[in-house]
Chains A and B, each alone.
Chain A
Amino acid sequence: MSEPLLASEDHPVAHPGYATFLKVWAALVVLTGVLVLMSRFGQSSAVWGLLLVTPVKAWLVFYFFMHLKYEGPLLKGVVLITLGTLLIFFALMFSDVAFR
C-alpha cells in the first residue's frame, strides 16, 4: 500500500523520543551560539549568519518539534511550496538591495 498523503486516525503519526528532542534542542542551542558569535564580526557577518543559520534552525523546529518528519508527502509538499514562494520573494527583494 502506498504512503498516505496526510497523517490521520487510520495512519497515526510516530512520535520522536525524548532523546531526539534533546539532541535537536542541543543543536539549536549550538546554532544560536554560532549566530551570536558571527554577529561579533560585524554587520555583514551577522546578516549572512541570519540568512544561513536561521533556516537550518527553522528546518529543525519544523521537522522534529512540529512533526513534519512524520507527515505524508502532501503536507511536506505544501511546506516546500511555501518556502519556495518565500525564496522567490527574497530573491526579488535582493534584486534591489544587492544592486543598489
Chain B
Amino acid sequence: MSALDMAGMPSYLENTGPRKGLAAWLTSTDHKRVGILYLVSMLSFFLVGVGIGFMMRLVQLTPFANLITAKTYNALFTVHGVIMIFLFVVPGLPAAFGNFFLPILIGAKDVAFPRLNLASWYFYMSGAILAMLSLFTGPGAPDTGWTFYVPFSLHTGTNVSLAVFAAFVLGFSSMLTGINFITTIHRLRAPGMTWFRMPLFSWSIYATSWIQLLATPILAITLVLVILERVFGIGIFDPAKGGDPLLYQHLFWIYSHPAVYIMILPAMGIISEILPTFTRRPIFGYKAIAFSSLSIAGVGSLVWAHHMFTSGLSQFAIMLFSLLTMIVAVPSAIKVFNWVSTLYKGSIDFQPPLLFALTFIFLFCIGGLTGVMQGAVAIDIQVHDTYFVVGHFHYVMFGGTGMAFFAALLYWFPKMTGRMYSKKAIYAAWFPLFIGFNTLYFTMLVLGWMGMPRRYFHHLPRFNTGHDIATVGSWFLVLGILMLFGTLIHALFKGEKAEGNPWGGVTLEWTLPSPPIAENFLEIPTITTGPYHFPQEDQA
C-alpha cells in the first residue's frame, strides 16, 4: 500500500457525507478535521493574544503611560495570560497536531473515542467563549493575572468568577483529550507497532496525556473552590475563617507547573520528529528521549512550590523543592544532547521546518538555563516577580513551544493541506521573528535583573531605555509572525500542490497522499522496523 494506491480517492478535506460546508466540519468526528478545527480556533486566539501583548508593549514605551488606564492594563495582562496559556499553549500541540497525526503515526484510522474527541473541541470553544464573555460582561474584565491568586481574586469586584469558570470548562477539554490519546496509544497501535517502534511525537503525547489526565482535575476543583469562596464565603482560603491562602498557591501550582510540561513535552516530540527527517538519520538515543519524556512528566509533577519561594513557604520545603527542581534539568538536558548528537554527521537538509527546530533548541536552552537559575533559591528571591521571570517564561513558552508549533506547522502543512508554501518567504519571515524575539525577551531578562517588577503599569525612568528596546523588538516580532502567517494563508489558496512526501520523511504519515484520505489507510499497515529507518542505512 502506498500513496499511489490512494491517488484519486477523496481526501479528508472533501465532503462525502450528507452535510455540506461548515456543518460538515462542525459535526465531523474525523480526527484530522477535529485537529484542523482546533488549529484554526487556537491560531485565531493566538493572534488576539499577540495583539494584546503588542498593546502592552506600546504602553511601556514611556515611563508614565497614558495610552490606557491602569485598570485596563491589569485586564490586558490577565487576558493575555489566560488566552495564551489556556487557549493556545496548553491545548496547542496535543489538540491540533496530536489529533491530526497521533492516529496516523501509530497506524490507526482514528482516535479511540471519536465523538468524545469532537466533544472536547466543543468544551474548548465553550470555555473560550466564556473567557471572552468575561471581558465584556459584568463588572469589568478580570484583573488578577492568569494565576487568579487569592486573596485578591476573592475580593476584587471584577468578573473573576466567570473567567475562573471558563478555565474550569477548558480543563474538561484537556482531560477528555488526554484520556482519548492514552486509550488510543494503548489500544489502536498497528500490528508490529511496539512501544519502542512508536515515533517520539507519540511518546511525548503519551506522557503529556497522563499529566492532562492526572493534574487537570486538581486545577478544576481549586477553581471551583475559588468560585464557592467568592459566592458563599466558605473560608477555605481565608485565614480569618481558618483557611490558608498558601493552600491556593499549592493547589494552583500542583496543576500549573506540570501544565508547563503539557506545553513543552509535545514541542520536544515535534523536534524529535523533524531532526531525523532533515538529517537523514535515526534519532540519537531513541529510548533516552522516550524515557526522558516520562521522567520529565513524573519529576515535573513534584516541583510546583518553586513558584512560591517568596510566599512564606517553610525553609525545609524551599530546600526540598529547590533540589527537586534541579533534578528536572537532567532529563531536559538529555533531550538537548540527543538532538545535537543527531545533527552530528547527519546529511543536513536545511529546510524551513529544520530552521525553526534549531531555533527552538537555541531559545529553549536560554529559557531552560534561566529556569535552572531560578531553581536556586538565592537567585529566585532576588528576581521573583520581575521581568526576568517574564523573559524566562517567554523564552520557554514562546521560544520553546511557540517555535516548535511553527516548526510543526511548516513540517506538516503540506501533508495537512496538500499545498506547499514559498520557502523563501518563510526564511524572510524568520529574520524579523528571531531578531524581534530576542530583542524583546532578552531585554526583559536584563530589565528584570536590574529590578524592574512585572505587571507594573508605570516604570521608573532608569528602565526606560530597556523598555524602548523591548518595544521595538515587539514590532519586529509581530512583523515576522504576520509574514509567516501571510505566507501560509497565501499557500493555502495559491500554493503549489504538495507531493506525498516532500521532505523525504520515513514515518507513517509520509506514506499517505497529501492531504490524506478520510480513513488514513486503505488497510492497517504492519510495522517491521523502528520509526526512523532510512533506506540508506540498509545500503550502508
Q: What is the interface of chain A, defined by CB distance below 8 A to chain B?
A: 43, 85, 88-89, 92-93, 95-100
Contact = CB atoms under 8 A, between A and B. Distances in A.
Contacts of B242: 43
B254 A96 contact: no
B302 to A, nearest CB: 6
B243 to A, nearest CB: 13
Contact of B317 (A43, A85, A88, A96): A96
Interface string B445-456: 000000000000
A93 B91 CA distance: 28
B305 A100 contact: no
Interface in B197-217: 214
A93 B321 CA distance: 10
Nearest to B254: A89
Interface centre among A85, A89, A92 (most CB of B within 10 A): A92
A99 B315 contact: yes
8 contacts: A85-B214, A89-B254, A92-B320, A95-B317, A95-B320, A95-B321, A96-B305, A96-B314
Contact of A88 (B246, B302, B313, B316): B302
B250 interface: yes
Contacts of B315: 99
A73 B317 CA distance: 35
A100 B244 CA distance: 12
Nearest to A96: B317
B211 to A, nearest CB: 12
Nearest to B319: A95
A17 to B, nearest CB: 34
**What 10 pairs between A and B have smallest CB-CB spacing?**
A99-B314, A96-B317, A99-B316, A95-B317, A100-B314, A96-B314, A95-B320, A96-B313, A95-B316, A93-B250
Contacts of A97: 314
Contact of B250 (A96, A98, A100): A96
**Chain B interface mostly:** helix
Contacts of B316: 95-96, 99
Contacts of B317: 92, 95-96, 99
B535 interface: no
Given A85-B214, A89-B254, A95 B302 contact: no
B18 interface: no
A95 B302 CA distance: 12
B312 A92 contact: no
A96 B302 CA distance: 13
A96 B246 contact: yes
Contacts of B321: 92, 95
A98 to B, nearest CB: 8
A98 B315 CA distance: 11
Given A85-B214, A95-B321, A100-B312, 10 more contacts: A43-B242, A89-B254, A92-B302, A92-B320, A95-B316, A96-B250, A96-B305, A96-B313, A96-B316, A99-B317
A90 to B, nearest CB: 11
Nearest to A93: B250
A93 B308 CA distance: 12
A25 to B, nearest CB: 27
B87 to A, nearest CB: 27
Nearest to A94: B317
A85 B217 CA distance: 14
A57 to B, nearest CB: 20
A63 B214 CA distance: 22
B374 to A, nearest CB: 18
B435 to A, nearest CB: 42
Interface string B314-349: 111100110000000000000000000000000000
Nearest to B251: A93
Contacts of A89: 254
Interface centre among A85, A98, A100 (most CB of B within 10 A): A100
Contacts of A92: 302, 305, 317, 320-321
Contacts of B312: 100
Nearest to A100: B314
Interface string B289-308: 00000000000001001000
A85 B215 CA distance: 11
Nearest to B304: A92
B425 to A, nearest CB: 48
A57 B250 CA distance: 26
Nearest to A98: B314
Nearest to B314: A99
A96 B214 CA distance: 22
Interface string B224-244: 000000000000000000100
Contacts of A100: 312-314
Contacts of A98: 314
Contacts of B302: 88, 92
Interface centre among A43, A88, A92, A96 (most CB of B within 10 A): A96
A72 to B, nearest CB: 17
A90 B312 CA distance: 18
Nearest to A88: B302
Nearest to B311: A96
Contacts of B313: 96, 100
A22 to B, nearest CB: 32
